[in-house]
Structure 1
Amino acid sequence: MLDSALALLPFSALDWLLVVAGIAAAYVVFGIAGFGTALVAGPVLIHFMPLSRIIPLLVLLDFVAAFGNWLPARKAVARHELLRLLPCMAVGCTMGVVFLLQLKSAVLLLLMGLFVSGYALYSLAVKARPQRLNAWWGLPAGTVGGLFGALFGSGGFLYALYLNARLTSTEQARATQSALISCSTVVRLGLFLLAGVYADRALLMLALLLLPVMAAGLWVGRKLTRRLSREAFIRLVTWLVLASGLALLGRYFSS
């Protein structure tokens, strides 16, 4: 069975090494911050498969990872924040699919990279900031997060920024973010199923083979997170957001 699976995936030994390293690194980041897999793994995987296969692959793995993060901490989910963000996220996902099918996404990619990088630089430079963000910011955070998630596979950073500015508990922020990403992946899984993307046996087999790598990266990320204070956690997330923004700009200028 393994031989037939590998026959569907014509990777060399070096290709497999790079793919596994990219996925492991992506899910270490996911275990720490709860987002960022497409931005970390995408630049590696793009050398071996088109983006039209990368995003569905990561959606499958993200769903398992987010569910694994959410399940043990489900009692810590801030339901009021979740209910505030979910409708906006659904609207954003719908808009993202429409834009993806009908518009060129290059300009949106550039604007997203500039916005994310600028916000992260501002957050790192400015020490004094409001201790609690107004709840109305949930509307753009949910909508734009859903939009970017559908377009680029990377909208979780907006949920992270919003929730960390609203909730005093890191555990609550992470659990709520995991619940949101789980819901987002369900929507995208449904769309990919309707489009027939998962009829590709090789793609499903690749996801299955990479599940242990994803689990190992997630475990390492969780271990690292438990050693951080809330302030150090938020600062690390901000650095990861900056790296995400620079990766998006790199993707724009290299395309």
Structure 2
Amino acid sequence: MFDFTGLSLSAYLIIFATLAVGYVIFGIVGFGTALVVSPVLAFYVPVSKIVPLLALLDFCAAAVNVGRDGRKANWQELRRLLPLMVAGSLIGAAILLNTRPDVLLLGLGVFVVGYALYSLSGVRPQHQFSPAAALPFGAVGGVFSALFGSGGFVYIIYLTGRIADKTSIRLTQTTLIGFSTFTRVVLFALAGVYLDTSLLWLALLLAPGMLAGTAIGRRITLKMSREQFIRVINLVVLASGIMLLVRYFAAA
């Protein structure tokens, strides 16, 4: 069992600082914590504890943001995406149980990197997805949330192609992540993962970093233009795609 008291002060400070940076990104775009935090946590925390720890902190961060600004979320888009996210999660779970899903990492990684580079290049005209695009994006996001704990970058591609207001994009994305992580937290709780009190203590010790990071991220977003906001999103999406490819080739 992982015992947080085994962490040295320097290790705790490194984790705390990294987590705060990760939640600055979460506060800006509504996802992306794991990109920054997971590689560092892996040096100090058993890998089996990282996903439930971040699921708990992500859910709390999403709840704080939604509680503060939830009225600004686009609930029409949420009504489209949420059922598809649930269906995709069930499909993802079935794939996980019956096949090797690693090859999907390669396909999605190539798509995400290509899309992000295309968006960052500025060569494409502005466009808007049709409501029907919620079907593939919602389902695929759910599949990858179930398989790898990371579907936020799929949802954000859809939302930036549907919603003009950056605050609405951020809050809609955060609400989606809140629902997704709540589902994972419930499953982990039912599996008894959170009976490990050391995990809960670590989450409590890291909570101030999460709160500070999300607050800073929110303030940064309020000062951004929509173009700057979309550029940051595309950079985070690009990093997500690169991490998928790294994960695939590392496992090959």
Amino acid at match of 1:23: L
**1:65 aligned onto 2:56:** no
- Equivalent residue in structure 2 for 1:249, among 240, 245, 248: 245
- Equivalent residue in structure 2 for 1:99, among 87, 95, 108: 95
Aligned length: 250
Shift of 1:130: 4.2
- Equivalent residue in structure 1 for 2:48, among 52, 75, 78: 52
Query: 1:1-255 alignment to 2 at 5 Å?
Result: 8-255=4-251
d(CA) in 1 for partners of 2:89 and 2:10?
Answer: 36
d(CA) in 1 for partners of 2:218 and 2:153?
Answer: 17
Return 25-34 or 187-196, whichever deviates more. 187-196
d(CA) in 2 for partners of 1:7 and 1:88?
Answer: 38
Query: Does structure 1 retain, via aligned residues, the 8 Å contact 2:81–2:138?
Result: yes
Shift of 1:107: 2.1
Shift of 1:94: 1.8
Shift of 1:151: 2.1
SS of 2:6's partner is: coil
Provide, for residues 121-167 of structure 1, a one-character-per-residue CA deviation record: whole Å limited to 9, x for no partner: 11112433343111111111111111212222221112211111111
Listed as ranges, the gaps of 5+ residues in structure 2 are none
Return 194-203 or 93-102, whichever deviates more. 93-102
Shift of 1:8: 4.3
Provide, for residues 175-232 of structure 1, a one-character-per-residue CA deviation record: whole Å limited to 9, x for no partner: 2112111111111112112222111111111111110011111111112111110111
Return 56-65 or 214-223, whichever deviates more. 214-223
d(CA) in 2 for partners of 1:51 and 1:140?
Answer: 31
Amino acid at match of 1:213: G
Q: Which residue of 2 is the match for residue 3 of structure 1?
A: none
d(CA) in 1 for partners of 2:247 and 2:139?
Answer: 23
Provide, for residues 92-134 of structure 1, a one-character-per-residue CA deviation record: whole Å limited to 9, x for no partner: 1222233334433432233332221111011112433343111
Return 91-100 or 29-38, whichever deviates more. 91-100
Provide, for residues 50-104 of structure 1, a one-character-per-residue CA deviation record: whole Å limited to 9, x for no partner: 3321111001000011111112222222221110001000011222233334433
d(CA) in 2 for partners of 1:97 and 1:204?
Answer: 26
Query: Does structure 1 retain, via aligned residues, the 8 Å contact 2:28–2:170?
Result: no
Q: Indicate how the Cα distance of structure 1 residues 37 and 100 shifts in structure 2: closer, same or farther if over 3 A, else same.
A: farther
Query: Does structure 2 retain, via aligned residues, the 8 Å contact 1:23–1:213?
Result: yes
Amino acid at match of 2:160: N
Amino acid at match of 1:190: V
Query: Does structure 2 retain, via aligned residues, the 8 Å contact 1:86–1:180?
Result: yes
Amino acid at match of 2:70: R
Query: Does structure 1 retain, via aligned residues, the 8 Å contact 2:118–2:124?
Result: no
SS of 1:166's partner is: coil
Query: Does structure 1 retain, via aligned residues, the 8 Å contact 2:85–2:141?
Result: yes
Query: Does structure 1 retain, via aligned residues, the 8 Å contact 2:30–2:171?
Result: no
Query: Does structure 1 retain, via aligned residues, the 8 Å contact 2:22–2:32?
Result: yes
Listed as ranges, the gaps of 5+ residues in structure 1 are 1-5
CA-based RMSD: 1.8
d(CA) in 1 for partners of 2:160 and 2:214?
Answer: 20
Amino acid at match of 1:28: V
